[in-house]
Amino acid sequence: MNKNLAALFIDLTSEKTQVKKIKPDFLKMFLGGSGIGWMLAAEYIKPETHPFSPENPIIISVGALVGTLCPGASKISAITKFPTLASADGKNFIGECTGGTRYFGLMLKMAGYSHLIIVGKASKPIYLKIYDDEIEFKDASGFWGKNYSTDYVANKLLEDEGEDSGVIVIGKAGEKKVFHALTFVDKMSTLGRGGLGAVMGSKNLKAIVVRGTKAIKIADSKKFIEEVHKVRSRIIKWPHFKQWITRGMGGSGWEIFRNTQYPGKWKKTKWDKLYGEKIKETFDRVQACISCIISCKNTWTIRNGKFAGDKGFSPATAKVATSGQLLDVEDYRKMLHLYKVANDEGIDFYTTTRLIDFVTTLYHQGKLTEHDTQGMKLSRSYDCYLDLLYKIVNREKFGDVLADGWFGLYNKTNIDPQEYWYGGICKGVDFIYDARPSHFHPLMMTFFTRPRPHHGGSHTLTNVPGKSIEEIKEQVIKWGLDETTVNKIFTPTPYSGKFNVGIYTKYMEDMMRVKNALGICSIYTFMGLIFGEDMANLYSAATGLEMSASDLLKCGERIFNLSKLLNVREGFTREDDKPPEIWFKPMISPEGKIVLKDYFGSKIFQKEDIERILDDYYKERGWDVKRGIPTREKLVKLGLTKIINVEDFL
C-alpha cells in the first residue's frame, strides 16, 4: 500500500512533470487519500491565489483503500480553491469535493500515484494522458468550444486511449468558467460542486485520462481479505440488500427523498404521482462503482414523448423531482431532459435550476426588470428554463450574470441570496436539502460548518427519518467514540432537544474526513454497514500501521482542522458559518406550515437555539468560540505545528 504513495506533479504551463514521494510517516497523521491531499494543499495553495490563476492547484487524491476489495472503497477527492463567490466581497473557500469512481481511482493508483497535483495553464486546450510513467499533453482543440456532450467526449477518449481508462471530463460550462461547473468522472459520477469544472477550464484542461499496469500491494494480505469477507458477509444480510442491488438508490429511495427533499409547493400525493411513480419507468440498469456490492447508481432512458431516447446516469429521482416541483414542471420527462442537458454541458443541476427558479419568480413578481435581465423576457415556462440554462452555460446576456452564481446575481442586482425560499444558502452555495422538511441533524449542520457547503460524505443514520434514539446511539458508539463523548452527545438540552447536534456534528465531520481519506463511500457508513472498527482493521491490514477506530477519528479531526486552517487564512470566521435565514421562516406547503425542528420533531428551533448549538460545536472542537476558528493550543495538541507554521494561517 505504501509503495503506491506518491504524488505526480504536473505543470501545464511548462509541460514538466515530477514524481514526489510522500513519506509513509505522514500516513500516521493524515491516513492517506484526501488527508494527505490536505497536507499537499497546505504546501501548494498559496494565500490570496485567485481560483482561476495558473498557480491555483487541483489536487486529486485517491482514497487509501481504493483499488482493493474493501466494499465501497471507490472514492477520489479533489481539493482546490473554488471560484464560487462565498461572500459579496468575493471570498473563495478552499474545499474538498469527493465522489465514487469506477476506473479513475483504481487506474491512478495502478499508474503508481496516490495523488495528482496539477498547476499552470496550458497554452491551448489539451487533455492529460497518464499511462504509468508516460505523461502526455494531448491536443483537445477538437473537443473545445464544440457542441459535444461530456458523455460524447468521454466515449471518444475511452475509444482512443483504452476502454479501461479512468476519465474526468468537463463540459462547455467548464470551458466558459461558469462558477458552478462540474466535472464528470468515469461517465457515472459528478465531482466538484462549487466549480471544479471551471478551475479545469481556466487551465485549458478538457480532460484527464489515466491507465496503469502496476500492482497495488497490501501489507498483511491474509488479514486484509479476512476483514473484507467479514464485512461483506454482514452487508449481504442487510434487509434492503436485494432491493438495492436490483433497483439502486434511485429505485429504492423515493420514500426517503419525498420526506427530506420536499419543497412544499405541491401536495405530496401529487408529487408521488407525477415523479415518484413515473421516474421508475425510466430505470435501465444498476451501476456499481469499483468494489461496491450495494450499487446505488443506475442508468435511465426516457421511454416516450418528445424526449424519448434521452439517456443518463446516476439516481435522478431526488434531483429531478425536487427541481421539477420548484419550477412547477409537471412532466417528469421535461425535467429529465433538463437534467441531461445540464450533464451534457457540465453544469451543476441543483444550483442552476434553483437560480432559474429564483430569477423567473422574481421577474414574474416584478422585482427583477428587463433592465436587470439585459433585455431578456423571463417567464415561468419550461422553454424559458431551458433557454436560461443554455445562456448560463454559454455566458450569454443575463446568463453571464447567473454564471457567477448567487453572489454574482447580488453584485449586479442587489438581490440577497438569503431571500431564496428553498434549501438555504451559505458561503454562496445552495444546500441540497432544506432543514425544515428534513429536520435539523448533523448533515444539515455540516452544510454551514464545513468550509465547502456540500455534504462531502457527512451522512449519519439521522439522514433517514424516523429512527429511534437507541438506533442512533448504537451507530455513534460503533464509530469508536468513548463513553464520555457518547453521553455528552446524548444528554438532552433545552436548546437542542434529545441529542446535542453541535457535539454530534463535530465527530461526524471528523468521521467524514476518515471516510474520504480511506475512500469509503458514505452510503455504507450511514446505512450502518461499515463501522469505525471495520475501517481501522481494514486500514491496519492494508498499510501495516496499527490503528484503532479512535486513532482514525483523531486523524479525521487533524485533517478537519487543517482544512479549516487554510480557510481561516482566506478570511473565513464564524461570521461565515451562518445557518440560512430562510430556515427560521415557516415553509408554507399544502400540508400546512413546516417549521425548523429537531430530528424527532419535538422541539421548534429559534435562531438563538442554533447559535447555542454552534457554541457547543466550536467548544467541542476546542476552538475559539467567538471567532469559530482553531486555537493555537488545539493545533499544537493535534501535532499540526510540526508540519506547518500555524502563525502563517491564523
Partner 1 sequence: MPKKILLIEPLKCKGCLRCELICSFVKGTIFNITISRIRLLRFTENEIYYPTTCEQCFTPPCKDACPVEAIKIDAETGAITVDEELCIGCQQCFFACPLGRVSRVPHSKIPIICDLCGGNPPCVEECEYDAIKFVNFDKANNEVRKSRIKNISKLLELIM
Return d(Cα 40, Cα 5) in angstroms, integer.
13
225: contact with partner 1 by CB under 8 A? yes
Residue among 485 and 522 whose Cβ is closer to partner 1:
522
Inter-residue contact 157 to 129 (CB < 8 Å):
no
Secondary structure element (H or E) that encloses residue 407, with its range: helix 405-413
Phi, psi of 224 (to 5 degrees): -60, -50
CB of 150 to partner 1, least distance (A): 13
Nearer to partner 1, 122 or 216 (CB): 216
Footprint on residues 466-485 left by partner 1 (CB under 8 A): none
> From the CB of 298, what's the least distance to partner 1, in Å?
10
Q: Which is nearer to partner 1, 164 or 648 (CB)?
A: 164
Contact range with partner 1 by CB under 8 A, out of 52-60, 216-224, 317-325, 629-637: 216-224
CB of 302 to partner 1, least distance (A): 15
- Are 80 and 94 contacting, i.e. CB atoms less than 8 angstroms apart? yes
Rounded least distance, CB 624 to partner 1, Å: 44
Specify whether the CB–CB gap between 565 and 649 falls below 8 A: yes
Q: How far is the CB of 21 from partner 1 (least distance, A)?
A: 20
Instruction: Please say which residue, 158 or 409, places its beta carbon nearer to partner 1.
Output: 158
**Range in contact with partner 1 (rule: CB under 8 A) among 102-110, 141-149, 360-368, 462-470:** 102-110
The two beta strands, 6-11 and 623-624, are unpaired
Cα distances (angstroms) measured from residue 588 to each of 263, 324, 421:
9, 18, 10
Matching residue, cell 509513509 = 24
Q: State the minimum distance, in angstroms, from the CB of residue 531 to partner 1.
A: 20
Residue 153 or 461: which CB sits closer to partner 1?
A: 153
Does 164 participate in binding partner 1 (rule CB under 8 A)?
yes
Query: Any contact of residue 453 with partner 1 (CB under 8 A)?
Result: no
The site map against partner 1 for 110-149 (x = CB under 8 A) is x---------------------------------------
> What is the rounded CA–CA span in Å between residue 302 and residue 307?
7
Among 108, 158, 429, 538, binds partner 1 (CB under 8 A): 158
Q: Which of 372, 278, 366, 357 is nearest to 321 (CA)?
A: 278
**# residues near partner 1 by CB under 8 A:** 37
Give the C-alpha separation, 625 to 616, whole Å: 8
Shortest distance (Å) from residue 604 CB to partner 1 = 44
Q: How many CA atoms lie within 13 A of 171 on its CB side?
A: 33
Does residue 295 belong to the site contacting partner 1 (CB under 8 A)?
A: yes
- Touching partner 1, residues 310-369 (CB under 8 A): 313
How deeply is 304 buried, as exposed, middle or buried, from its count of CB atoms within 10 A (0-12, 13-18, 19+)?
A: exposed
Report whether 465 contacts 259 (CB < 8 A). Answer: yes
φ, ψ of residue 118 to 5 degrees: the values are -110, 120
Residues 94 and 79: their CA atoms lie apart, in Å, by 7
Angle between helices 549-569 and 33-44 (to 10 degrees): 30
Query: Residue 556: what are its φ and ψ, rounded to 5°?
Result: -60, -40
Q: Quick check: 293 binds partner 1 (CB under 8 A)? A: yes
Nearer to partner 1, 291 or 505 (CB): 291
User: Residues 433, 256: contact at Cβ < 8 Å?
Assistant: no
22, 116, 289, 587: residue in contact with partner 1 (rule CB under 8 A): 289
Give the other-Cβ count within 10 Å of 371's Cβ: 8
Contact range with partner 1 by CB under 8 A, out of 157-165, 318-326, 549-557, 598-606: 157-165
Q: Is 163 in the site for partner 1 (CB under 8 A)?
A: yes
For position 647 contacting partner 1 by CB under 8 A, the verdict is: no
Who's near 208: CB < 8 A, 6+ residues apart?
Answer: 60, 116, 118, 127, 128, 130, 167, 168
Closer CB to partner 1, 63 or 263, in the complex: 63
In 3D space, the residue among 202, 176, 175 whose CA is nearest the CA of residue 12 turns out to be: 202
Residue ranges in 382-411 that form contacts with partner 1 under rule CB under 8 A: none
Do the strands 205-211 and 166-170 form a parallel or antiparallel pair, or are they unpaired?
antiparallel
Nearest distance from residue 308's CB to partner 1, in Å? 16
Residue among 42, 40, 45 at smallest CA distance from 60: 40
The minimum distance between CB 103 and partner 1, in angstroms, equals 8
Does residue 209 bind partner 1 (CB under 8 A)? Answer: no
Using DSSP, state whether 78 is helix, strand or coil. Answer: strand
Residue 169 interacting with partner 1 (CB under 8 A): no
* Options 159-167, 177-185, 438-446, 449-457: segment touching partner 1 (CB under 8 A): 159-167
Contact between 221 and partner 1 by CB under 8 A: the answer reads yes
Residue 341 grid cell: 442537458
Strand pairing of 58-62 and 75-81?
Answer: antiparallel
> Bridge partners of 415?
none
Q: Which is nearer to partner 1, 221 or 379 (CB)?
A: 221
Query: Which amino acid makes up residue 526?
Result: F
Cβ at position 26, least distance to partner 1 in Å: 22
Residues 6+ apart with CB under 8 A from 164: 103, 107, 211
Q: Does 155 bind partner 1 (CB under 8 A)?
A: yes
Select the span of 49-57, 292-300, 462-470, 481-489 touching partner 1 (CB under 8 A): 292-300
**Which of 236, 308, 588, 636 is in the footprint of partner 1 by CB under 8 A?**
236
Helix (H) or strand (E) segment spanning residue 99: strand 94-100
CB of 62 to partner 1, least distance (A): 13
Which listed residue (146, 217, 267, 270) binds partner 1 by CB under 8 A?
Answer: 217
Q: Which of residues 60-99 bind partner 1 (CB under 8 A)?
A: 67-69
Q: What φ, ψ does residue 251 adopt, rounded to 5°?
A: -85, -15
- Is residue 507 close enough to count as binding partner 1 by CB under 8 A? no
User: 282 or 287, CB closer to partner 1?
Assistant: 287
**470 burial type by CB count under 10 A (0-12 exposed, 13-18 middle, 19+ buried):** exposed
Contacting partner 1 (CB under 8 A), which of 85, 288, 587, 610? 288
Residue 324 backbone phi and psi in degrees, to 5: -60, -45
Site for partner 1 in 170-189 (CB under 8 A): 187-188
Q: Decide: residue 198, CB within 10 A, 0-12 exposed, 13-18 middle, 19+ buried.
A: buried
Q: Judged by CB, which is closer to partner 1: 132, or 615?
A: 132
> What minimum distance in Å lies between the beta carbon of 30 and partner 1?
22
Beta carbon of residue 67, minimum distance to partner 1 (angstroms, whole number): 5
> What is the binding site for partner 1 (CB under 8 A)?
67-69, 102, 106, 110, 154-155, 158-159, 163-164, 187-188, 213-218, 221, 225, 232, 236, 245, 285-293, 295, 299, 313
